[in-house]
Structure 1
Amino acid sequence: MRIVIAGGHGKIAQILERHLAERGDDVVGLIRNPDHAADLRDAGAEPVTFDLEHGSADELATILSGADAVVFAAGAGPGSGAARKDTVDRGGAVLLADAAERAGVNRYVMVSSMGAAKGGAGIEDEVFAAYQEAKKAADEDLMSRDLAWTILRPGGLTDEPGTGLVTMAPETGRGSIPREDVARTIVAVLDDPATDGLVAELIGGSQRIAIALAELTD
């Protein structure tokens, strides 16, 4: 498969790139900063410089041409303000969907956020509330489209080694998960057409990823 990952220099994205490249997939990582290109090459991905905040859907569609799937793993990142939560976490996800439609790429996997269904309601921290609102809007936009989409909403992300064991459900309750296991779950989702239309929260647990997905898609 040819897979394009938005947010290609993020921690989850680089783990995902490595997993996909090692099994023989053709992986493209979108980066804003060309200085990050070597890191993507080390992970086995082809780096392509593209700014999700300022590029056009037509420009991105050209990059996506011939791809089998796209993954949105981008984010404004720690230290960014409320405005960039909207332009990256919502606007970037919407732009990727627009470009996928124009390029004829039907498969879209979204890395969202636990609690995104509720948006920023009840959150006192202004920036985190804006982040959750952006994720909610991005998810709702994707769900409105005629694409083969899957939305994963992981809990707190850690850099602990992955275990391959998770809990997945529409609502899991609060919890954390290694980034490694989020990446492994994305790989499993990309391989499983039955996950089309699935929205699930994701934390560490006791089920193998394939079994957790199978129970949700039966």
Structure 2
Amino acid sequence: MSQIAIVGGNGQVARHLISQLAAGGHQPVALVRNPSYTANLEALGARVRMLDIEQHDVDAFAAAFEGSDAVVFAAGGGPDGNLERKRTVDLGGALKSIDAARIAEVPRFVQISAIGVDLPLPDDTEPVWRAYVEAKRDADIALRESDLDWTILRPGRLTDDDGTGAVTIGDSVGRGDIPRADVAAAVVAVLDEPASAGHQWDLVGGETPIDQAVHGLVA
């Protein structure tokens, strides 16, 4: 059994991930800022630790990662249009997580990003969307430049549809939708595939079973 620390542990993808990790015999540790989330997350199979992404420092992150075999960064600043939270959560939280993983000696790190964030943005891009894209882009750069055993997954537009268990995944794929449940399943698949370290992949809905799709990229 592996212990997996999930930053942003009450997020929509994270809740799917907790259930799937627990079903697979792993121990998810949900890192959240609000104690009111505890009962629901424990019911899904998580241990819960308190972590405020914006207010806590790197040492607090490292303490939250203690005993874990991997970190999954699944946090996001939310859909509320708050530009600053894109920087403090999507970027700042990722940077603190990367540094803390080193301190806590947790080398395996999986980051959920977004498709296309390396592409140039039009001059008239809405400011909050620009901040989001740039935050994800810069977080990915920082992780790629780290000495961690990283994997970056860049899903397309997230939906609440039921998971299909099948995806299209690769270095560069066309834009498309993907259920959050399938993103979570792809995270589980790369955690279970050590050879996925050092790779960044786009991820959308598709026809290939998820484990097969991930294994096919590294076989």
TM tier relative to shorter chain: over 0.9
SS at match of 1:116: coil
Structure 2: which 5+ runs fail to align?
none
* Aligned match of 2:101: 100
Assess if the C-alpha contact under 8 Å between 1:119 and 1:134 holds in 2.
no
4+ residue runs over 2 A deviation: 118-123
Structure 1: which 5+ runs fail to align?
none
Deviation string, structure 1 residues 127-170 (Cα, Å, up to 9, x no partner):
11110000000000000000000000000111111111100122
Q: TM-score normalized by structure 1?
A: 0.96
* Aligned match of 2:80: 79
Deviation string, structure 1 residues 99-122 (Cα, Å, up to 9, x no partner):
100000000000000112226455
User: Percentage identity across aligned positions?
Assistant: 46
Note the aligned Cα RMSD (angstroms): 1.3
* Aligned match of 2:167: 166
Distance change in 2, residues 1:80/1:46 (3 Å) = farther
Assess if the C-alpha contact under 8 Å between 2:113 and 2:152 holds in 1.
yes
* Aligned match of 1:191: 192
* Aligned match of 2:36: 35
Assess if the C-alpha contact under 8 Å between 2:193 and 2:215 holds in 1.
no
Matches within 5 A, 1:56-205: 56-118=57-119, 120=121, 122=123, 124-205=125-206
Q: TM-score normalized by structure 2?
A: 0.96
C-alpha distance in 2 between matches for 1:46 and 1:121: 43
Deviation string, structure 1 residues 74-113 (Cα, Å, up to 9, x no partner):
0010114211101000000111111100000000000000
The number of equivalent residue pairs is 218
C-alpha distance in 2 between matches for 1:103 and 1:63: 9
SS at match of 1:47: strand
